[in-house]
Structure formats: C-alpha cells, structure tokens
Amino acid sequence: MEILKISENDFMSFLDKKIDEKAEKVIGVVKKGSHFVFNELESSDKLALDYDVTMLPPKKYFQPPKELLLKYKPGNPESYRAVNNCDPMAIVGIHYYDLAAIYMMDRAFSEGERDEHYMKKRDNSILVGLYPTKYFKYRFAKSVVRDQAYKVADLMMVKMNGDYVVEVVSEKGKDFIKGGNFIENTYTLQEIDDAKNKVKDDQKIPISVELIPDYLGKNHGHPVWEVFGEKCFSCGSCVLVCPTCYCFDVRDEVELNLEEGKRIRIWDGCMLEDFAVCADGHNFRKEKGQRFRHRIYRKGKHLPEKYHYFGCVGCGRCQYSCAADIAGPVKVIKYMEDNKQGGQNV
Ligand code: SF4
Ligand code: SF4
C-alpha cells in the first residue's frame, strides 16, 4: 500500500479545489452547536476533523432516513419508475469504526438480493477515513473492531503534527488525490502506528468478542433483559443513531387526487413498540425486555454468526443518546458479568 503525506494547509487547498471542480459532492465533518455532523462542504473553512463523534454516522448518505424509491400512477402498472438519486460523493474524515460499520452495511445490502438504491450510492462514493484525534468517553471501538475499515476505505488518513499521512487503499482513492500536493511519506511505520493509537478508549467489552455469540445464547433467560427493559422508554434513539442498524419500513403515499403515487422507505427500529406488529395486530416482541434482548442479540449474536464480525463497532452513540442510560453493549455485558447466574454465565 502506497503511503504519502500532505500538510494540513495543502489538504484544505486540495479539498477547496475538489469542491470547485464539482466532480463529486464533498462531504465532511462540521460543527453544529456543541456537536459534530457530516454535511456537504461549500469550502474547507467549516471542516472540523478534530472531532470526538458525529451525531449520526455517514450511513445516512447510503440509506437516507427517508428515501424515494419509485413513482407511479395508481392503477397503471406500466407507469412504475424507479428513482435513485446517487450523485457522486466523497466523504472525508470517517473514523475507522464507522468504516467498519459501512463494511457490514455493504454486506447486508449486497449479499443475496442486491439493493440497488443502497449499492449505487456506495459505488458512486469515495470514502476517506481518519484515525480519531479526540477522545470520546463512550467509545470502545478498539475492543470490537478488527481490520474492517481497510475493506471499504479508499484512503486512510492519520494526523501527524501539521501533516496528514495518507494510506492509499484503493485505485479510486489514488485517482481522487491526483492533482493534490501529496508527497512521499517521511514518517516511520512505528510513528504512524503510534499516532493511530494515540487516542485511547476508556471503555472495553469485558469479554472477548469471539465468545459473545455463545455467551448471549446461554444467557437468553438472564434477568438483565427484564431489568434494563423496565427502564427503557422505547424511544428508539439507540437504533436510529447506530451505524450498523439498517432496518426500514416501506410505505406508499398517494396524492389525494389519486393521480400520483410514490413509494418511500424510512428508517425503522426494533426498539420501537410497533416494530414487530404483524398484519393481524399481533406483536411478537410486545415486552420491552424482549425488544432490548433482540437488539443486543442482533449486535452480539445474529450479525456475528452471519458476517463473522461483531455487529457493534463500539462508536458509543447508543449509550450517549440513551436517556435511561442503559443502551450501551458494554453496560449490558458488564451487568451480566456482575450478576452471573449460578456463578457462571458462559
Ligand atoms: S450498538 Fe451502540 S456502540 Fe454499537 S455500533 Fe451501535 S450505536 Fe455504536
Ligand atoms: S435509547 Fe435507551 S431508552 Fe431509548 S429505546 Fe434505546 S435503550 Fe430504550
């Protein structure tokens, strides 16, 4: 893998050039009040790469919260037309755990039935990763993420003094940086590695992630589900901010004059009370504890069994956004460890 470097100032000039050229939308992290969000950039002035965490992960660009799928004229089967807005985009400054989540999303939307609405947006995107430069107290990514970021990133950046070291991961990434003042790297691999690991996580999952699917399977009846479920408000914040949650609902909206119809999909979440309501009104996860267990099982059992990676990337957003202070997987597993059934959980 080629490793280059560029000064911070030259990187900003490079981005301004990219924004002016308009070959693709340039998206980056900007400050919003006391938080950070991914947003389209009009210039590099607003770019805030020294951030702890963004409110929402970049998945919103590939699976928008509300997405138009097709338009039609009711009663006319010939009129159905798919709509897929997928302008080219480059997203700059994605932390490695959010890249790991995109890897999981890519697999979910491409294996089996390929989802063109998601995949075309991904095919038209360039992902520029960045190792975190700021501590976030709820993050535990180091204990759960392995090598996934490099499976989807086109470029990976590491901040070093006044420079960015840039690892060129893909051909797309190589093309993207053409014309910028990227020069030969002069830092040692040890120095780069140290910079990648400079920001520590205070939190970690207390048991090895490889053991968690089995661990959860054996703890289906653990009191944690009821205890934490009791405290849950069913607000759904934990699933809506999660970079590896991808559930959605599909609805048809028809104009009152019955001339035009559109099909949309919107984010949905398993922590919401009516998520598991079937056509006859039966709710197969009626109790809050059942929904709470299901969410943790998705992250720690079902997704790892399917994709061989832990289904949570340790971003900490769920714990941060939970008014009941219960949503974080670290918190859940710590509780289980502190309250072992019969002295042993596994
Ligand atoms: S479960 Fe929580 S910590 Fe894990 S990826 Fe989702 S939001 Fe982040
Ligand atoms: S954010 Fe907390 S309170 Fe809201 S649904 Fe998730 S676990 Fe329950």
Q: HSE on the CB side for 142, CA within 13 Å?
A: 15
pLDDT (tens digit, 9 = 90+) per residue, 127-181?
A: 999 999 999 999 999 999 999 999 999 999 999 999 999 999 999 999 999 999 9
Residue nearest to atom 2 of ligand 2 (CA): 322
pLDDT given for residue 276 in this prediction: 86
pLDDT on residue 341? 73
Distance of CA 98 to the CA centre of its chain: 5
Closest CA to 289 of 336, 335, 222: 222
Q: Which residues are near ligand 1 (CB < 6 Å)?
A: 241-244, 299, 312-318, 329
Ligand 2 mutation pick, 245, 322, 335, max ligand atoms within 8 A of CB: 322
**pLDDT per position as a tens digit, 214-249:** 999 999 999 999 999 999 999 999 999 999 999 999
Task: Please say whether the beta carbons of 28 and 91 come within 8 A.
Answer: yes
- The protein residue whose alpha carbon is closest to atom 4 in ligand 1 is 312
Section 36-54 average pLDDT: 97
Q: Are 308 and 148 in contact (CB under 8 A)?
A: no
Residue type, 7: S
Residue 340, pLDDT score: 85
- Whole-model pTM: value is 0.94
CA distance 332 to 144: 15
Q: How far is the CA of 228 from the centre of ligand 2 (A)?
A: 9
At residue 274, the pLDDT reads 87
> pLDDT of 52-61, one tens digit each?
999 999 999 9
Average pLDDT, the chain: 95
Ligand 2 environment, Cβ below 6 A: 232-238, 271, 321-324, 326-327
Identify the band that residue 345 occupies on the pLDDT scale cut at 50, 70 and 90: low
If you average pLDDT over residues 17-26, what whole number do you get?
Answer: 96
Q: Which ligand is nearest to the CA of 205?
A: 1
- The pLDDT assigned to 201 comes to 95
Give the per-residue pLDDT at 325. Answer: 96
Asked if residues 271 and 294 have their Cβ atoms less than 8 Å apart, the reply is no
Best probe residue, ligand 1, of 203, 242, 319 (max atoms within 8 Å of C-beta): 242
Residue 283 pLDDT: 87
Q: Of 143, 245, 318, 319, which is best to mutate to test ligand 1, by the most ligand atoms within 8 angstroms of its C-beta?
A: 318
pLDDT at 343: 54
Is the pLDDT assigned to residue 311 strictly greater than 70?
Answer: yes
User: Nearest Cα to 130, choosing from 104, 161, 102, 93?
Assistant: 93
Instruction: Tell me the per-residue pLDDT of 93-120, one tens digit each, with 9 for 90 and over.
Output: 999 999 999 999 999 999 999 999 999 9
Domain locations along the chain:
2-196, 209-343
Which 3 state secondary structure label does DSSP give 292?
Answer: helix
Question: How much distance in Å is there from the Cα of 282 to the middle of ligand 1?
Answer: 29
**Do 222 and 337 form a contact (C-beta atoms < 8 A)?**
no
> What is the Å distance from ligand 1's center to 346 Cα?
23
| Phi, psi torsion values for 139, nearest 5 degrees | -75, 140
SS3 55: coil
| Distance of CA 311 from the midpoint of ligand 1 (Å) | 8
* pLDDT for residue 344: 56
196-223 pLDDT, tens digit each: 999 999 999 999 999 999 999 999 999 9
- Residue 342 has a pLDDT of 62
* pLDDT the model gives residue 167: 98
Task: Indicate if the pLDDT at residue 18 is higher than 60.
Answer: yes
Which atom of ligand 2 is found nearest the CA of 236? Answer: 5
Measuring CA to CA, how many Å separate 60 from each of 28, 139, 242? 13, 20, 11
Contact 143, 334 (CB under 8 A): no
SS3 of 128, please?
strand
For the chain, where are the E strands, in sequence order? Answer: 2-7, 25-32, 35-40, 66-73, 76-82, 89-95, 125-130, 155-160, 163-168, 183-184, 248-254, 261-267
